[in-house]
C-alpha cells in the first residue's frame, strides 16, 4: 500500500520553509552598521576637507556646484584629458562616500595599522578625499600614487589639481597623507592626449615636476606599471588596492578590465600575461582585493548613497550607514515547524527489518 502521508509532510515542510523565507524577507528591518560611529566620523572629516577647499575658491559656479564644495571642475581646461559625467562628479562629492570606504574596509578586514595601495587619477577628487578621510579615521596607511590628468568636471582647475588640493589641506592643518609619487596622467600615463590639446599637456608635466615627491617617468606603459608596483612593494605588503578613476596604468590596455564592476572586486576571469594588463589585474592575481571607484552612479545606487542630492544629507542618514537585519524569531519558528513536518514524514516510513540471518547448525 502506498504511503500517502510521506509526500504530504515533505511538501508541508517545503512550503513552511518557503513561507518563512518570504516572511523574513518582507519583515527585514534596518539596523545601524557595526562601524557606524567610524563611518560618521570619516564623513565629518570629509566635510572639513571640502569646506577647506571651498574657502580657497572665490569663483564657485553654483550651476555646476550647487553644494558649494569647490571640487567640481571645469568642462574645459588644460588639465582635462577625457570626457566626464557632471552628475557622477557631483554625486562623488557626497561625504557618505567616506562612510562607504569605512564599510568596505570593514568587509575586507582592514584595520588599524594596515596598509592600502591607492592609484588615483584626478577625475574624482571627492573619492580621493573620501578614501583619505577613511584612512585617517581608522589609522590605515595609504600608499598613494596620483596621476594628474582629470576628466571633465574633475580636479582640472589650475591651482586645484589633486596634488595641490592635498597641499591646501595640509597647510590648513588637516590630517592628510603625502603621495608616494605622481605622474602626468593622460594617454599611456605620459602626459599625452589632452582632450583639448594635441601632443604633450605641458601643464600636467609641470604639475608633476612641482609636486615635491618622486615623479614616475617611464619609456612605456608596461615600464610605468612595473615602476608603480615596485613603489608599492617598497612600502611593504598591502591589504587592498584602491583604484579611483580610469588611469591607464591602473586599467592597462586590456578592455576586459572594464567589466570587473565597481566596489569590492576579489577575483577575475581575465586571462592575459600582457605586461600592459594594469595594476588592477596585477593585484588581483596576487590575491589582493581591489576597491574600484569608476561607475560612481551605479556604485552609489547599490550602496545606499543618494544620487546628486542638494543639499547633501547629514552623516548617518543615508542607507549606507545601515544593514538589513532578518527577524530571528520568525526564522526560528519556520525552521522548527519544518523540522516537525520532517519528523512526521519520517514516522510514516515503514520500519526496516532488523532480523539477522543466523548460520544453520553444523555450519559453525
| pLDDT of the residue at 219 | 87
Residues 269, 283 contacting (CB under 8 angstroms): no
**What DSSP designation does 62 have?**
T
Residues 244, 119 contacting (CB under 8 angstroms): yes
Residues 47, 95 contacting (CB under 8 angstroms): yes
Residue identified by cell 516510513 is 349
Question: Which is more confident, 207 or 357?
Answer: 207
| pLDDT of the residue at 76 | 86
Residues 193, 186 contacting (CB under 8 angstroms): yes
Residue identified by cell 562616500 is 97
For 293-322, what is each residue's pLDDT tens digit?
989 999 999 999 999 999 999 999 999 999
* H/E segment holding residue 244: strand 241-244
Give the integer Cα–Cα distance in Å for 364 and 99: 80
Ramachandran region, residue 316 (left: φ > 0; alpha: ψ -120 to 50; beta: rest): left
**What DSSP designation does 286 have?**
T
Q: Mean pLDDT in the chain?
A: 87
CA 64 from chain centre, in angstroms, equals: 25
DSSP codes joined into one string, 315-350: TT-SGGGEEEE--HHHHHHHHHHHHHHHHHHHHTSP
| pLDDT of the residue at 109 | 97
Give the integer Cα–Cα distance in Å for 227 and 224: 5
Give the integer Cα–Cα distance in Å for 89 and 157: 14
Burial zone of 91 (CB within 10 Å; 0-12 exposed, 13-18 middle, 19+ buried): buried
Give the integer Cα–Cα distance in Å for 305 and 214: 36
- Whether the per-residue pLDDT at 43 is higher than 80: the answer is yes
Burial zone of 306 (CB within 10 Å; 0-12 exposed, 13-18 middle, 19+ buried): middle
C-alpha cell at 116: 592600502
Q: Residue 39 phi/psi, 5° resolution?
A: -60, -45
CB-based contacts of 12: which residues, under 8 Å, 6+ apart?
A: 341
| pLDDT of the residue at 343 | 81
- Whether the per-residue pLDDT at 362 is higher than 80: the answer is no
Give the integer Cα–Cα distance in Å for 206 and 227: 20
For 89-147, what is each residue's pLDDT tens digit?
999 999 999 999 999 999 999 999 999 999 999 999 999 999 999 999 999 999 999 98
Give the integer Cα–Cα distance in Å for 280 and 284: 6
- Whether the per-residue pLDDT at 257 is higher than 80: the answer is yes
Amino acid at each position: 500500500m502506498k504511503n500517502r502521508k510521506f509526500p504530504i509532510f515533505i511538501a508541508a515542510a517545503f512550503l513552511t520553509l518557503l513561507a518563512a523565507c518570504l516572511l523574513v524577507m518582507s519583515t527585514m528591518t534596518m539596523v545601524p552598521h557595526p562601524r557606524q560611529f567610524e563611518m560618521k566620523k570619516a564623513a565629518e572629516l570629509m566635510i572639513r576637507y571640502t569646506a577647506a577647499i571651498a574657502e580657497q575658491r572665490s569663483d564657485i559656479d553654483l550651476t555646476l556646484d550647487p553644494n558649494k564644495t569647490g571640487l567640481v571642475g571645469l568642462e574645459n581646461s588644460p588639465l582635462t584629458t577625457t570626457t566626464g559625467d557632471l552628475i557622477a562628479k557631483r554625486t562623488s562629492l557626497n561625504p557618505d562616500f567616506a562612510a562607504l570606504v569605512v564599510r568596505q574596509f570593514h568587509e575586507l578586514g582592514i584595520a588599524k595599522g594596515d596598509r592600502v595601495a591607492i592609484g588615483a587619477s584626478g577625475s574624482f577628487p571627492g573619492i580621493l578625499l573620501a578614501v583619505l578621510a577613511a584612512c585617517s579615521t581608522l589609522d590605515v596607511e595609504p600608499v598613494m600614487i596620483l596621476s594628474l590628468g582629470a576628466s571633465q568636471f574633475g580636479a582640472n582647475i589650475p591651482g586645484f589639481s589633486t596634488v595641490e588640493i592635498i597641499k591646501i589641506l595640509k597647510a590648513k592643518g588637516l590630517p592628510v597623507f603625502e603621495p608616494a609619487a605622481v605622474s602626468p596622467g593622460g594617454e599611456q600615463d605620459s602626459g599625452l592626449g589632452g582632450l583639448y590639446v594635441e601632443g604633450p599637456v605641458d601643464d600636467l608635466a609641470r604639475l608633476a615636476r612641482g609636486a615635491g615627491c618622486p615623479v614616475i617617468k617611464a619609456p612605456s606603459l608596461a615600464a610605468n606599471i612595473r615602476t608603480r608596483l615596485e613603489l608599492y612593494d617598497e612600502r611593504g605588503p598591502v591589504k587592498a588596492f584602491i583604484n579611483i578613476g580610469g588611469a591607464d596604468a591602473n586599467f592597462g590596455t586590456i578592455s576586459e578590465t572594464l567589466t570587473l564592476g565597481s566596489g569590492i572586486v576579489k577575483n577575475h576571469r581575465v586571462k592575459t600575461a600582457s605586461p600592459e594588463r594594469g595594476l588592477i589585474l596585477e593585484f588581483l592575481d596576487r590575491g589582493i582585493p581591489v576597491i574600484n571607484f569608476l561607475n560612481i552612479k551605479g556604485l552609489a545606487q547599490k550602496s545606499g548613497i543618494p544620487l546628486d542630492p542638494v543639499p547633501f544629507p547629514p552623516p548617518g542618514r543615508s542607507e549606507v550607514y545601515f544593514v538589513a537585519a532578518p527577524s530571528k524569531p520568525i526564522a526560528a519558528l519556520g525552521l522548527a515547524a519544518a523540522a516537525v513536518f520532517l519528523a512526521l514524514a519520517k514516522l510514516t516510513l515503514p520500519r526496516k527489518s532488523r532480523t539477522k540471518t543466523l548460520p544453520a547448525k553444523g555450519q559453525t
